[in-house]
Amino acid sequence: MSKVGARRLEPAAITGVMSREVANFRTFWKATTFSSVLEPIIYLLAFGLGLGATLVDRVNGLEYVEFVGTGMVATAVIFSSAFPSMFGTFVKHRFQNTYDAILAAPVDVEELVTAEVLWISLRAGFYGCFPLIVAMGFGLDPSFGMLLVPIFAFVTALGFSGFGIATAATVGKIDHFNYVTTLVITPLFLVAGTFFPIDQLPDGAQAVAQLNPLHHLVELVRHSAFGFESTDLIRFGVLVVFAVAMWRLAVNRMEKRMID
């Protein structure tokens, strides 16, 4: 046996927890991939071709299918990070007692949360790119800037998976996720600028939208496809701050939940 160290965030502990996630993921990757490919196709058919062909022609100089196709990366990222972290954490903690087993090994809560956040974000970073690839099939031109999209998606997913874990460690019952979905996730998803531009909203709503990490992801992805702007570094900075803040919140909430 190798020696277990006392220092924080040991790579062996983090990769050990992630190896458990990989082992489990091997049993359901087909279903995840299926929905990750099909959902953007359905959305693009409904919004891009349906709405775009009938009501909306161009938005901010872009074909509507290009507008929605790039925006939908954010939808894929929040859905593939916030929900798995909320429900996955709750189930593993309360129903399967998985975390009790892991924390009986030389792994602490910070390492456990970090591994979970990293794994979910890697997945979300990968699957978050699928709408972009699907959109290319609908006419979106590829660009070199798009190579940065997995990074943008990954960093945003760090924040939302941290948020999901913190939520799971806070709510009393699994049904309470309905409040979070209705009051937090749905508004964030709708006012991110995915389906309509934020600049058409009232000034107050526009200001609030600037606090929405998903909006910054939407803008970064669009700019990666159609040309970066000077504010993009600030947008990326906002996502990094969001990621770090949610990671620490998740660690804090889980420590309170897991250690008696």
Partner 1 sequence: MNAIEMRGVRKAFGEITAVDGLDLDVPAGICLGLLGPNGAGKSTTMRLLTGQALADEGEINVLGHSLPAQAKIARGEMGVVPQLDNLDVDVTVEDNLSVYARLYRVKDVLQAVERSLERARLTNRRKDAVDKLSGGMRRRLLLARGLVHEPKLVLLDEPTVGLDPQIRTELWSLIDSLREGGSTILMSTHYIEEAQRLADEVALMTAGKIISRGKPSDLIREHAGTETAEIYGPPARLAEVRGKAEAAGFRVRSAGPAIAIVGSEKAENGVVPEDAVRRAASLEDVFVLLTGEEAE
Half-sphere exposure in the Cβ direction for 162 (13 Å, CA): 24
Q: Which is nearer to partner 1, 6 or 55 (CB)?
A: 6
Q: Which of residues 114-173 bind partner 1 (CB under 8 A)?
A: none
Is position 33 an interface residue for partner 1 (rule: CB under 8 A)?
Answer: no
Q: In the window 81-100, what residues touch partner 1 (CB under 8 A)? A: 96-98, 100
Q: Least distance (Å) from partner 1 to the CB of residue 251?
A: 15
Q: Pick from 27, 54, 172, 204: which binds partner 1 (CB under 8 A)?
A: 27
Comparing C-alpha atoms, which of 193, 200, 201 is closest to residue 217? 193
Sequence-separated (6 or more) residues with CB below 8 Å from residue 110? 8, 9, 251, 255
**Closer CB to partner 1, residue 13 or residue 132?**
13
Nearer Cβ to partner 1 (4/184): 4
Query: Considering the complex, what minimum distance in angstroms separates the CB of residue 252 from partner 1?
Result: 16
Which whole-number Å values give the CA distances from 15 to 79, 104, 190, 217, in the listed order?
Answer: 24, 16, 35, 27
108: left (phi > 0), else alpha (psi -120 to 50), else beta? beta
Q: How far is 229 from 213, CA to CA, in rounded Å?
A: 17
Q: Minimum distance from CB of 37 to partner 1 (Å)?
A: 22
Stretch that binds partner 1, among 12-20, 76-84, 126-134, 170-178 (CB under 8 A): 12-20
> What's the CA gap between 210 and 238, in Å, rounded?
10
Does residue 9 contact residue 110 with C-beta atoms inside 8 Å?
Answer: yes
Q: Rounded to the nearest whole angstrom, what is the least distance from the CB of residue 147 to partner 1 in the complex?
A: 32
157 φψ region: left (φ > 0), alpha (ψ -120 to 50), beta (else): alpha
- Other beta carbons within 10 angstroms of residue 123's beta carbon come to 21
**Least Å from the CB of residue 93 to partner 1:** 11
- Of the candidate spans 10-18, 55-63, 196-204, 214-222, the one that interacts with partner 1 by CB under 8 A turns out to be 10-18
Q: Is the Cβ–Cβ distance between 175 and 236 less than 8 Å?
A: no
* Binders of partner 1 in range 98-117 (CB under 8 A): 98, 100-108
Min. distance of Cβ 246 from partner 1 in angstroms? 24
Q: Does 42 bind partner 1 (CB under 8 A)?
A: no
Choose the stretch contacting partner 1; rule: CB under 8 A; options: 16-24, 31-39, 141-149, 186-194: 16-24
Count interface residues toward partner 1 (CB under 8 A).
33
Q: Tell me 228's DSSP state.
A: -
Q: Are strands 58-59 and 62-63 parallel, antiparallel or unpaired?
A: antiparallel
List binders of partner 1 among 199-258 (CB under 8 A): 258
Residue numbers at the binding site for partner 1 (CB under 8 A): 1-6, 12-13, 15-17, 19-20, 23-24, 26-28, 96-98, 100-108, 258-260
